[in-house]
Structure 1
Amino acid sequence: MTEMMRAVRLHEFGGPEVLLYEDARRPVAARGEVLVRVHAASINPPDLYLRDGYRALPSEWQPHPAFPLILGTDVSGIVAAIGDSVSEFHLGDEVYAMVRFPQDVMKGSSAYAEYVCVPASELALKPVGIDHLQAAGAPMSLLTAWQFLVELGHDAANPFQSFPHVPVPLEGKTVLVNGAGGGVGHLAVQVAKWKGARVIAVASGKHEALLHDLGADQFIDYTKISPETAAQDVDLVIDAVGGSNMERFLNVIKPGGALFLVNPVGFSGQDDAAARGITVSSTQVRSNGAQLAEAGRLLDDGTIRVVIDSTFPLTDASAAHERASRGGLQGKIVLIAG
């Protein structure tokens, strides 16, 4: 008899209302995989894009998955079963992961569920110093900050450029983080500070106290003053926002500095950057259990902390997506599975 579970599934693309909490078949751990009983899962922008069918992409790039599908990549939970050839994890271990990203980005990585199968190579022991909510909020955002600022950690082809992304030394440098109040941004502030940088945080005014508490040396409220007029002689800008006019940050960067774009689509300042001697680079975050284990030590001792914007029960994933769509997040939205 097939074992069942509860999950949030899509039967069609659309708004938050298409997320349905219903019965689904419980997955079975294959060779090299671990079955995780999910305690919490977090929401990331790719979840919203996939739910909507990636309508912003050209039609030939839009997904055509087999419905129903289950969204979500970031999980924290407990090992419930172990597949063949897995020796590094044991039943009952508390673990966290970013699941099969980006390889399953167009069909769903199945984290919005009571159980999910995770390749052992993508899994790490949950830091004991944090709870499942914080751990679930970490993986994609923390790995993004880590792979941009500390270590790329893989040799996969870069989908955004012809050369691999290379982090730059940060000790003694000035780093500006745009979108510092969000999921990636608030962790990038902390990682840059840990690496010895002077950090300028750019966000709306409601985030000022938090970002100073997280280590930012200077705060710029972009609703009152443009960061390109308030900052100068910056060694590195990491833009976690994207959108129009990313080129404006070239004006605050020193010759020989760098502009790292978490979402580079639409950037058109390559020639201007080259003329100024500024490196512009991006990369696609990828699942990596070893990096989560390494970064987890910083979560464990409190050097880095995950800020939770809000929590919702897994049964109310549609309301969580509505919250995400309104923007202005301070940290991460987390779904509580049990």
Structure 2
Amino acid sequence: MPTETMRAIRLHEHGGPEVLRYDEVPIPEPGPGEVLVRVHAIGINPPDWYLRDGMSNLPPETRPKFELPVIPGTDLSGVVEAVAADVDGFSVGDEIFGLLRFPSFDGQTYAEYVAAPASDLALKPAGIDHVHAAGAPMSGLTAWQFLIEVGHDHPSPFQLAKHRPVPLDANMTVLINGAAGGVGHIALQLAKWKGARVIAVASGGHESFLRELGADEFIDYTTSRPEELVHGVDLVLDAVGGPDSRRFLRTLERGGALFPVFFGEFDEEEAAELGVTVSGAQVRSSGAQLAELGRLLDAGTVRVEIDSTFSLADARAAHERAAQGHLRGKIVLTVAEREHHAGAQVSG
């Protein structure tokens, strides 16, 4: 009997959004410790386009190994379709969400069905839909592991020391650069949940959105230089990162910390002279932490903003939207019910 097939987006070569192909492939079989998920929505993240373009932005020694063709994607929300014999805690029909197998690039979530490690999954918060749940895992866990609790002992490939979050409370001022993006807007809400005062940096069109999320102060980086306006903050979370991150060192109080989400380039002597710490973590999959974040999502303490949605078949347009930048929250791919049925019937 022929294998049942599904639709998935695959890369057969590296390049721009045009290399994303809508293919028909076999439905995966869940292995030990895994469940088969019928996917409803897929969150898009920067690693998806790093994989697409061949990781050209990462230092060669940190690039994960993978072979083409490959199905990209790490974030999903969906329904458990089948459960391996050794899996406890999930049953067929459960609604779940997760960040799969990160930091490897083997999540394979741009598909109608995914074999997912049960340890990477949590029950989807009942109070939010699949689209919002799919937008939460990587961005939410990045914000959580940088600000609240690392939750693992794996070192970052970009630093020797273990990352230690700074305990946040009402006496702390946190500056978040890139506050309207996926990681930034969740980090802002987590910092407010802990009682901190938050300065949000983003482009001007996002001001009312960020104030609604709780920002105490807003800086439009297109008209002002935050490093000239702000001094004496306790923590900078730079969700943009990269070479420009070092300019935020001078906004910090002595004893403060700068957490670049995307590795930056820093002068260690400058940081030492200013008496500040630069530290980052590499986000890793964690069903347990996602369950904690899920409680905040369910309560409405944290919400996921959706920039835009596209169908799975239209992944190219979703990546084109990502390349335009100035995102407000997350881009999400949706999988239509009819696509599932069409896929499942091909075996006839």
- Above 0.5 in TM-score? yes
Which amino acid is 1:322 matched to? E
Could you give the per-residue CA deviations for residues 10-67 of structure 1, whole angstroms, max 9, x where no partner exists?
A: 1111110111111011111111001110000011000001100112345566566322
Partner in structure 1 of residue 325 of structure 2:
327
Partner in structure 1 of residue 221 of structure 2:
222
Partner in structure 1 of residue 341 of structure 2:
none
Unaligned stretches of 5+ residues in structure 2: 337-348
User: What SS does the corresponding residue of 1:141 show, helix, strand or coil?
Assistant: helix
Deviation at 1:158, TM superposition (A): 2.3
Partner in structure 2 of residue 88 of structure 1:
89
Partner in structure 2 of residue 40 of structure 1:
41
The 8 Å contact of residues 257 and 276 in structure 2, kept in 1 or not, is answered as yes
Deviation at 1:177, TM superposition (A): 0.2
Identity %: 61
Unaligned stretches of 5+ residues in structure 1: none
Given the superposition, is the C-alpha separation of residues 236 and 61 from structure 1 closer, same or farther in structure 2, using an over 3 Å criterion?
closer
Normalising by structure 1, report the TM-score. Answer: 0.96
Partner in structure 1 of residue 272 of structure 2:
274
The 8 Å contact of residues 41 and 78 in structure 2, kept in 1 or not, is answered as yes
Partner in structure 2 of residue 18 of structure 1:
19
**C-alpha separation in 1, matches of 2:61 and 2:236:** 33
Deviation at 1:246, TM superposition (A): 1.4
The 8 Å contact of residues 310 and 332 in structure 2, kept in 1 or not, is answered as yes
Deviation at 1:126, TM superposition (A): 0.2
- Mapping of residues 176-215 of structure 1, within 5 Å: 176-215=175-214
**C-alpha separation in 2, matches of 1:139 and 1:59:** 26
Partner in structure 2 of residue 284 of structure 1:
282
Deviation at 1:269, TM superposition (A): 2.5
User: What SS does the corresponding residue of 2:184 show, helix, strand or coil?
Assistant: helix
Could you give the per-residue CA deviations for residues 249-285 of structure 1, whole angstroms, max 9, x where no partner exists?
A: 11110001111110124x1222111122111100100
**C-alpha separation in 1, matches of 2:116 and 2:130:** 16
User: What SS does the corresponding residue of 1:209 show, helix, strand or coil?
Assistant: helix
**C-alpha separation in 2, matches of 1:169 and 1:297:** 20
The 8 Å contact of residues 37 and 78 in structure 1, kept in 2 or not, is answered as yes
The 8 Å contact of residues 175 and 234 in structure 1, kept in 2 or not, is answered as yes
Could you give the per-residue CA deviations for residues 143-201 of structure 1, whole angstroms, max 9, x where no partner exists?
A: 00000000000111221211110111110200000000100000010000101100000
Which residue of 169, 172, 176 corresponds with 1:171? Answer: 169
Which amino acid is 1:111 matched to? T
Given the superposition, is the C-alpha separation of residues 295 and 61 from structure 1 closer, same or farther in structure 2, using an over 3 Å criterion?
closer
The 8 Å contact of residues 53 and 62 in structure 1, kept in 2 or not, is answered as no
**Cα RMSD over matched residues?**
1.2
Partner in structure 2 of residue 262 of structure 1:
261
Which amino acid is 2:141 matched to? L
The 8 Å contact of residues 74 and 96 in structure 1, kept in 2 or not, is answered as yes
**C-alpha separation in 2, matches of 1:261 and 1:7:** 33
Which residue of 139, 142, 146 corresponds with 1:148? Answer: 146
**C-alpha separation in 2, matches of 1:119 and 1:179:** 31
Which moves more between the two structures, 50-59 or 273-282?
50-59
The 8 Å contact of residues 30 and 84 in structure 1, kept in 2 or not, is answered as no
Partner in structure 2 of residue 123 of structure 1:
121
Partner in structure 1 of residue 334 of structure 2:
336
Partner in structure 1 of residue 50 of structure 2:
49
**C-alpha separation in 2, matches of 1:154 and 1:36:** 25
Which amino acid is 1:237 matched to? V
Given the superposition, is the C-alpha separation of residues 214 and 79 from structure 1 closer, same or farther in structure 2, using an over 3 Å criterion?
same
Which amino acid is 2:17 matched to? P
The 8 Å contact of residues 42 and 333 in structure 1, kept in 2 or not, is answered as yes
Count of equivalent residues: 334
User: What SS does the corresponding residue of 1:140 show, helix, strand or coil?
Assistant: helix
Which amino acid is 1:234 matched to? V
The 8 Å contact of residues 234 and 252 in structure 1, kept in 2 or not, is answered as yes
User: What SS does the corresponding residue of 2:243 show, helix, strand or coil?
Assistant: coil
Which amino acid is 2:55 matched to? Y
Partner in structure 2 of residue 232 of structure 1:
231
The 8 Å contact of residues 76 and 132 in structure 1, kept in 2 or not, is answered as yes
